[in-house]
Amino acid sequence: MNVKLEASEEYALVSLDGRVDTTNANEFENSMLKVISDGHTKIILDCSGLDYISSSGLRVFLIVQKRLTAAKGQFRLCGLQPGIVEIFDISGFTSIFSIFPNKEAATKP
Amino acid sequence: METNLDDALQSITKQADLICHGNYENTDEIYQFSNPEKYPESLVNFVEAFGFMAVKLEAREMHLENTIEELKIKNVQLEDSITRHNHLNFVFMNTVVLLSFFSFVLALLKTQSDTVSKIATTFVVSRVIEFAILASSILLIVRSKLPLSNFGLSLKNWPRAVKESLYATAVAVFCCTLLKVLMVQFNLSESTYIVRFSNLEWSFAFYILVAPLQEFLGRGVVQGTLQRIVPGKYGWLMAILLTSLVFGTLHLYISTSFALASLVGSFLWGWLYLRHETIVGVSISHFIIGIWMGVLGFFI
């Protein structure tokens, strides 16, 4: 798993690559919570490089969403691969997350 | 391995119990058993399936919470809409009662031959209606729980409102005077004078109360309510037009030309009210223009 941050004045763009499972879900959670604690309230998570996500990884998405909702922020996801979209559909995530087809669409105000 | 299985089952049972009570805080504890490097595949799959179920449940709960929040917002909007609707009902009913009552009174007055008696009766009836509507307007304001400023009872920016009203009034007074001069010049007026201050009889003394009262009812209650409830980009224009039509119609009992003059005056006061949303400026303007119309003889 690889997490990369590109911060601008308007939003923080986080790129997530590889697999998120039990072994690295904590690392992913810490990375995301640090972005929030650094003061970013609008986060765009680019998942175009995400190959697999386990339930522990999905839970991190929920935690981030809760934190940002409490901070009246925004959490946008983009570039989800078909396999990840299917997991999101089954878990009901598509009804609680703002999902965009690509970065360009997600960065629009 | 058996100990691990026991630990895993105990942990999952504990988390299942917590989840049943709506507590998802420590769900992470079970994921330690989904490490394929440490635990057998069957346990890993079981924990993953349980974890997925827990996540799905949490997501569903979050979705429900979001939906409840959205419904709460919609409920507030709905209550606001009902309040606006009630205001519209009030304004509509009062307008119908006012116009109907006025029409009946005027029809009855036609049977009276004495002009002085007609004027006196009309004056008294007008004041009675105004005070009746004032009483129901006060009831509306109290029941609506809206601030008084929503009905024009505000001193906010009053110096600027008064200044603008005086400028507009000066232009209106000049135009009315010019009209009277032209009417006298071309024999279009029954009177031969331009101004006559003796026209200001006892009833004009009440004008210092009547003008602010009419502005409160016309601009503050009727136009203010219509401004809030008429939708669209030009809702404000519709509010001024509708208020002015009612205002003009209510002056038809004096004369058609006076009603037309009232209609034009109402456009002016409606526009001034729209700018500052206080009845201070428009009441002064209404008083001055009304008195001047009397001096010019347009009331007679």
pLDDT at B33: 84
Residue of B nearest to A54 (CA): B48
CA-CA distance, B172 to B178, in Å (whole number)? 10
Instruction: Give the residue-averaged pLDDT of A1-23.
Output: 91
CA-CA distance, B14 to B6, in Å (whole number)? 12
Domain span holding position B31:
2-69
In a domain, B232, yes or no: yes
Q: Indicate whether B276 and B169 sit together in one domain.
A: yes
Residue of A nearest to B67 (CA): A96
Complex confidence, ipTM: 0.89
In a domain, B242, yes or no: yes
Q: Using the 8-state DSSP alphabet, how is residue A1 labeled?
A: -
pTM exceeds 0.80, yes or no: no
Kindly report the nearest CA distance between residue A25 and chain B, in angstroms: 10
Query: What percent of chain B lies above the pLDDT cut of 90?
Result: 34
List Cβ neighbours of A79 (8 Å cut-off, separation of 6 or more): A46, A47, A48, A49, A101, A102, A103
Domains of chain A: 2-107 (3.30.750.24)
Neighbours of A25 (CB within 10 A): 22
Residue of B nearest to A58 (CA): B55
Residue that finishes a domain, picked among B21, B54, B69? B69
Residue A80 and residue A99 in contact, taking contact as beta carbons nearer than 8 Å: yes
In a domain, B179, yes or no: yes
The terminus-to-terminus CA distance of chain B in angstroms comes to 109
Q: Indicate whether B168 and B294 sit together in one domain.
A: yes
Q: Indicate whether B164 and B286 sit together in one domain.
A: yes
CA-CA distance, A54 to B45, in Å (whole number)? 11
Of B31, B32, B63, the CB nearest to A92: B63
Instruction: Give the residue-averaged pLDDT of B186-203.
Output: 82
Contact B34 A56 (CB under 8 A): yes
Kindly report the nearest CA distance between residue B59 and chain A, in angstroms: 6
pLDDT at B163: 96
Residue that finishes a domain, picked among B41, B69, B97? B69
For residue B230, pLDDT over 80 is answered with: yes
For residue B113, pLDDT over 70 is answered with: no
Total beta-carbon pairs less than 8 A apart between chain A and chain B: 53
Residue of A nearest to B52 (CA): A55
Q: Using the 8-state DSSP alphabet, how is residue A81 labeled?
A: -
A30's tokens:
């810490």
Q: Indicate whether B175 and B56 sit together in one domain.
A: no
In a domain, B140, yes or no: no
Instruction: Give the residue-averaged pLDDT of B230-238.
Output: 90
Q: Indicate whether B38 and B166 sit together in one domain.
A: no
Kindly report the nearest CA distance between residue A59 and chain B, in angstroms: 6
In a domain, B16, yes or no: yes
Chain B contact for A25, CB < 8 A?
A: yes
Instruction: Give the residue-averaged pLDDT of B154-164.
Output: 93
For an interface test with B, which of A54, A55, A64, A68 has the most B Cβ atoms less than 10 Å from its Cβ? Answer: A55
Pairing verdict, β A12-20 and A2-7:
antiparallel
Give the mean pLDDT of chain B: 85
Chain B contact for A34, CB < 8 A?
A: no
Kindly report the nearest CA distance between residue B7 and chain A, in angstroms: 17
pLDDT at B267: 96
Torsion of CA B113, B119, B120, B123, to 10 degrees: 140
Q: Indicate whether B282 and B179 sit together in one domain.
A: yes
Q: Indicate whether B167 and B48 sit together in one domain.
A: no
How does residue A44 score in pLDDT terms, banded at 50, 70 and 90? very high
pLDDT at B114: 64
For residue B111, pLDDT over 60 is answered with: yes
Contact B62 A62 (CB under 8 A): yes
Residue B66 and residue A102 in contact, taking contact as beta carbons nearer than 8 Å: no
User: Which chain A residues touch B37 with a CB distance below 8 Å?
Assistant: 23
The 10s digit of each residue's pLDDT in B20-32 is 888 888 888 888 8
DSSP string, chain B: -HHHHHHHHHHHHHHHHHHHTT--TTGGGGGGGG-TTTS-HHHHHHHHHHHHHHHHHHHHHHHHHHHHHHHHHHHHHHHHHHHHHHHHHHHHHHHHHHHHHHHHHHHHHTT---HHHHHHHHHHHHHHHHHHHHHHHHHHHHHHT--GGGGT---TTHHHHHHHHHHHHHHHHHHHHHHHHHHHHTT-SS---S--GGG--GGGGGHHHHHHHHHIIIIIIIIHHHHHHS-STTHHHHHHHHHHHHHHHTTTTT-HHHHHHHHHHHHHHHHHHHHH--HHHHHHHHHHHHHHHHHHTS--
Residue B75: burial class (beta carbons within 10 Å; 0-12, 13-18, 19+) = exposed
Residue B25 and residue B58 in contact, taking contact as beta carbons nearer than 8 Å: no
User: Which chain A residues touch B63 with a CB distance below 8 Å?
Assistant: 92, 95-96
The 10s digit of each residue's pLDDT in B244-298 is 998 998 888 777 888 888 999 999 999 999 999 999 999 999 999 999 988 998 8
How does residue B3 score in pLDDT terms, banded at 50, 70 and 90? low
The 10s digit of each residue's pLDDT in A61-105 is 999 999 999 999 999 999 999 999 999 999 999 989 999 999 999
List Cβ neighbours of A87 (8 Å cut-off, separation of 6 or more): A53, A58, A93
The 10s digit of each residue's pLDDT in B33-90 is 888 888 888 888 988 998 999 999 999 999 999 899 999 999 999 998 888 788 778 7
Contact A92 B59 (CB under 8 A): yes
pLDDT at B115: 66
Match 């299942």 to its residue by tokens: B16
pLDDT at B170: 96
Q: Indicate whether B167 and B29 sit together in one domain.
A: no
Chain B contact for A8, CB < 8 A?
A: no
Kindly report the nearest CA distance between residue B156 and chain A, in angstroms: 33
Number of compact structural domains in chain B: 2
Contact A91 B52 (CB under 8 A): yes
Q: Indicate whether B61 and B161 sit together in one domain.
A: no
pLDDT at B269: 96
Q: Indicate whether B162 and B26 sit together in one domain.
A: no
Residue of B nearest to A95 (CA): B63
Residue that finishes a domain, picked among B22, B54, B69? B69
CA-CA distance, A91 to B58, in Å (whole number)? 9
Contact B55 A95 (CB under 8 A): no
For residue B1, pLDDT over 60 is answered with: no
- Cα-flanking dihedrals φ and ψ of residue B294, to 5°? -65, -45
pLDDT at B240: 96
pLDDT at B118: 67
Instruction: Give the residue-averaged pLDDT of B130-159.
Output: 83
Q: Indicate whether B300 and B168 sit together in one domain.
A: yes
